[in-house]
Amino acid sequence: MNKLCFCLALVAFHTSFSQSTPKTENIVIITIDGARWKEIFQGADSLLFYDTKFMKKYAGTLQTKYGAATFSERRKKLMPFFWSVLEKDGQLYGNRTYSNNVAVKNPYNVSYPGYSEIYTGYPDPDIKTNDLLENPNPNLFEFLSKLPAFKNKVASFASWDRGPYIMNEKRSGFPVNGGYEPVTGDKLSPLQQSLNTMQSQMPIMVSESSRPDIFTYSHAKEYMRINHPRAISIGLAYTDDMAHDGNYGFYLEEIHAFDNMIGDLWSFIQSDNAYKNKTTMLITVDHGRGYGNDWTSHGPTVLHSNEIWFAVIGPDTEAKGEIKTPGDLYQYQFAQTMAKFLRLTFTSTKPIGPAIEVVMKR
């Protein structure tokens, strides 16, 4: 081999090796409860957007804010971060217009089974409802927290008060904060103290089982700033509450607020030396919802409420944007996918769904 050929071969080898070397050291998963793929990929649904039954307050203002002639325009107005940064630098799955299908594997299409499937990698047929029960299935974060490299580097925050049950806080052994629980610790920051005080003074409606998402998000972000966990989950819930109330305008407002939060979170991640260019963020949902008048509902008898979506952004995910190729992916694959980004294999007492290889650079 002459010197030129040898040098070209060496460059090719180095390039190939560099491209295939994983960079992810941290995983952040953020979920938005019950947000349909329709709004994520198409923006405001015109069938609901101009229906006075569902646009209960501020209809004119919200129609101006989120209305536009095309799907592309409407989704950008609703979720500007999602359809700028995420579309440019990440991968987005679940637009059924192109038969790019993502679905839950469990047959129940309600929140507890969905979240359990996300974190345990197993659609447990015995978890059927949202009842307050300790999840018998080990979860990915529990698995990580037992590894030396992740000791004291795992945490979970959720607006919904079922969060500590889904993660089985008593057994798991890592910090889990859900509902109106205050954040605890030996030395809380001024912001943590203020958030605890404000949420304790909030009027809690008897019918609501979730605190406002801004408290959950702010607690989680401050915990990240102080403790730099290597794996953290953030579960936001008010989209589902607004949908069950039949308030389509406020449901859109909650999706927009969610987009603002994930944009702010990604900006923080990319500005912090512990996270910058070595953190993968997965964004997804626990279940879908019905179409038309059934948009307020979901469950085993509500058509389309098994339909979900997800997005990934990070150093080991190619910038492919919205994926328009037909295919089928499932919720129970997320746990192993997160583990794979960390160059680990998640093992449990139950069979775990396979990783989604297509989101990772080869």
pLDDT of residue 321: 98
pLDDT of residue 5: 43
DSSP state of 161: T
Mean of per-residue pLDDT scores for the chain = 93
What is the number of alpha carbons within 13 Å of residue 1 lying toward its C-beta? 8
Token pair 């491209």 is found at: 19
Q: Assess if residue 196 is contained within a domain.
A: yes
Average pLDDT (317-338) is 98
**Which residues span the domain enclosing 181?**
34-359
Q: Assess if residue 175 is contained within a domain.
A: yes
The number of folded domains in the chain is 1
CA 263 → CA 62, 75, 95, 235, distances in Å? Answer: 21, 15, 21, 15
Q: Is the dihedral of CA 40, 42, 43, 48 positive or negative?
A: negative
pLDDT of residue 203: 83
Q: Assess if residue 225 is contained within a domain.
A: yes
DSSP state of 321: E
Could you tell me the strand order of the sheet in which 307-308 lies?
Answer: 307-308, 100-103, 327-330
Q: What are phi and psi of 236, to 5 degrees?
A: -105, 150
Q: Assess if residue 243 is contained within a domain.
A: yes
pLDDT of residue 207: 52
Confidence of residue 174 (pLDDT cuts 50, 70, 90): very high
Q: Assess if residue 272 is contained within a domain.
A: yes
Q: Assess if residue 98 is contained within a domain.
A: yes
Neighbour tally for 300: CB within 10 Å: 13
Confidence of residue 362 (pLDDT cuts 50, 70, 90): confident
Tell me the C-alpha distance between 338 and 334, whole Å.
6
Max CA distance (Å), the chain:
79
pLDDT of residue 304: 98
Q: Assess if residue 18 is contained within a domain.
A: no
pLDDT of residue 19: 52
Q: Assess if residue 4 is contained within a domain.
A: no
Kindly report the CATH number assigned to the domain that includes residue 352.
Answer: 3.40.720.10
pTM: 0.93
255-307 pLDDT, tens per residue?
999 999 999 999 999 999 999 999 999 999 999 999 999 999 999 999 999 99
